[in-house]
Structure 1
């Protein structure tokens, strides 16, 4: 095939491929491509994505090459086009190319008494499809708008009566049976929380492969993981999927609030309902904190179009401190101003939020158990930090041992 014939071709990528919006991982711009047939997710750079997004069967390679030259100030020659088309064909991304083989599933992690997971639903997609059809009425604006108004009113009511609810929760702590009943209801609320993620994600085109039970003692909880959230067409759909669980937690509490209000102060059920309202609201709002792996962290990552926000903000903070010490801003030039603000602001916000949580928890423990107990959160954090550092050192030591043994075997052979 001559060069002119090659440039006259009008190749087309498979129409079912889904392209995500431009994302950021550190200073780099990345593009995700989802192949629903092969079940693969590919990560591309800006140049590769620019080309693939224009291979729609209506543009010739010459036209795409001209647009590429304008955008990147460089031209693709015949060898580059042949290499690119061969790669796309081999990966099964071009239309009429052989179907790609699905990737081999990773072996499931071994479960133990301390941590693990078990699949509860044989066909999770079919179950979500049935639930999606049955709950279609709840996704109408005529239902969602009043629901959000009621949830807002619930939050306002809990805030106004927080002192009373706190006292009733303290009274309930003296009744283990009632406390266990509250815990059971909260666990049910968390199960509905996960199903809400799945249903909202399903409404926007997401896929749920598995519903099951996960445990990390002493916690046990249901999970319903939504795939392909990054490939939703609108950012608000991604954020809505992340926040659906917290809204479900609060909606679960709606029937209990008027019951609590109508009961007289001396009623035996008041502490039970008060603790349920206070703890349930705390669980819902706690999930909205922008800390990994909470829902608030996921929603913020979707809003900023950033991958691994916590990791990259930590890396940026280290880079910023190193640049300040060396008085060299060259390593920071790859970060646009908006991205610097996002990473720096997130790192600062996390530090302030973590300090506030430790201070609040320490103050609560000190008030209830004495001044010495107030230092327990700090001591626990330091112990966790020491264990993490020891684990990192042990991992590095093992890696060095493996490397040295490999070199020794090479010398022997």
Structure 2
């Protein structure tokens, strides 16, 4: 006992600290489990831990001793960690290079494969591939944020969002007129080409909006580039630490930014459409742009398998891989598999709610598409 006591005392006085490049996420649903993600930005490796492990790791800030962390853990979970368990936890964090003083791991060490230098060049082909448009995407996002970040203040956002609601109300009330305008545009190759160009430009602004809002919320933009899946060519933006932003609200705002930008892009065209002469060909073009642009933006909000890489519905439910997890749970529930009953209430509520909304959304989308096609067909 006396020989072991000094080691235990020294361990209790130890003040562990995570390295600055280590990020921790909020609680996320992953299947039946609640998990937290931990990412080492130096090696770009990440892994999942449970709520109890996260409780301990989140308090390793160099200010709290293991004794203090253990006391807080005992109060929260009703049990104390012994000397052996602490050693296991510290050994695991040290081996992964997550603690200050431990050697940082490279990507090759973390994944057992080549490091970032070997995999930095994206794979490209004629039918599919991608290319970066800027060398330093984060610096580009910072410059954009300095230029337009003031629009994210409530004094600007409230009137802009109010204008968007008014615009969508006008579109809903005059949907028949807009459908007729769209039909006319589809018979005019010149107007149709201009419409497609404007819609593509709005998708580019969509991605840049993700970058600006992510930067506003403390995110790091890893890439801005072009991606093609023949015959489609689109811009993309990758926020490196999106899941590790400070709060769920910040993640939802970042996810919503693209759809909101699509709608903001339409505001001046809505004014032009309202005041353009009815016999002017551009009147139909602006009307078609309003209808198709709104449909494009609102599609990002539909709780189907994510059209947008930022998974708006998933962030609202606090879940990762929401569509796949929902399908898995619904299959288990349909078979009355005992494993379905093992899902916690929070997970069952999220997956059942998402599944129900997804089915209803799919029915409404299909009904809207059928109605639009019937309306656009020649009489």
Residue correspondence of structure 1 range 6-17 to structure 2 within 5 A: 6-17=11-22
Superposed CA RMSD in Å reads 2.3
User: Secondary structure at the residue paired with 2:130?
Assistant: strand
Aligned-residue offset at 1:296: 9.5
Partner of 1:255: 268
Q: 1:159 to 1:356 in 2, by over 3 A?
A: closer
- Find the structure with the greater CA-based Rg: 1
Aligned-residue offset at 1:311: 0.5
Q: 1:70 to 1:332 in 2, by over 3 A?
A: farther
Q: Deviations over 1:195-230 (max 9, x none)?
A: 001111111111111111111122211111112122
User: Secondary structure at the residue paired with 1:338?
Assistant: helix
Gaps of 5+ in 1: 371-413
User: Secondary structure at the residue paired with 1:358?
Assistant: helix
Distance in 2 between the 1:297 and 1:58 partners?
A: 34
Q: Deviations over 1:169-190 (max 9, x none)?
A: 1111111111001110111111
Gaps of 5+ in 2: 1-5, 109-114
**Alignment partner of 1:57 is 2:62:** yes
| TM-score normalised by L of structure 2 | 0.88
Question: Is contact 1:10–1:61 with CA below 8 Å preserved after alignment?
Answer: yes
**Alignment partner of 1:346 is 2:354:** yes
Question: Is contact 1:208–1:225 with CA below 8 Å preserved after alignment?
Answer: yes
Q: Which runs of at least 4 in structure 1 moved beyond 6 Å after TM superposition?
A: none
The counterpart of 1:307, out of the listed 305, 310, 320, is 320
Question: Is contact 1:289–1:297 with CA below 8 Å preserved after alignment?
Answer: no
Aligned-residue offset at 1:157: 1.3
Aligned-residue offset at 1:268: 2.5
Q: Which has the higher contact order (CA 8 A, sep 6+)?
A: 2
Distance in 1 between the 2:48 and 2:271 partners?
A: 50
Distance in 2 between the 1:185 and 1:353 partners?
A: 27
User: Secondary structure at the residue paired with 1:209?
Assistant: strand
Question: Is contact 2:301–2:313 with CA below 8 Å preserved after alignment?
Answer: no
Give the length in aligned residue pairs.
365
Partner of 1:284: 297
Residue correspondence of structure 1 range 213-362 to structure 2 within 5 A: 213-295=226-308, 298-323=311-336, 330-362=338-370
Partner of 1:202: 215
| TM-score normalised by L of structure 1 | 0.82
Residue correspondence of structure 1 range 85-164 to structure 2 within 5 A: 85-103=90-108, 104-105=115-116, 107=119, 110-164=123-177
Partner of 2:196: 183
The counterpart of 1:77, out of the listed 68, 76, 82, is 82
Distance in 2 between the 1:360 and 1:257 partners?
A: 22
Q: Deviations over 1:233-277 (max 9, x none)?
A: 122211111111111111111111122111222222211111111
Question: Is contact 1:289–1:295 with CA below 8 Å preserved after alignment?
Answer: no
Distance in 2 between the 1:273 and 1:213 partners?
A: 27
Question: Is contact 1:154–1:257 with CA below 8 Å preserved after alignment?
Answer: yes
Question: Is contact 2:270–2:290 with CA below 8 Å preserved after alignment?
Answer: yes
Q: 1:249 to 1:102 in 2, by over 3 A?
A: same
Aligned-residue offset at 1:307: 0.9
Question: Is contact 2:303–2:361 with CA below 8 Å preserved after alignment?
Answer: no
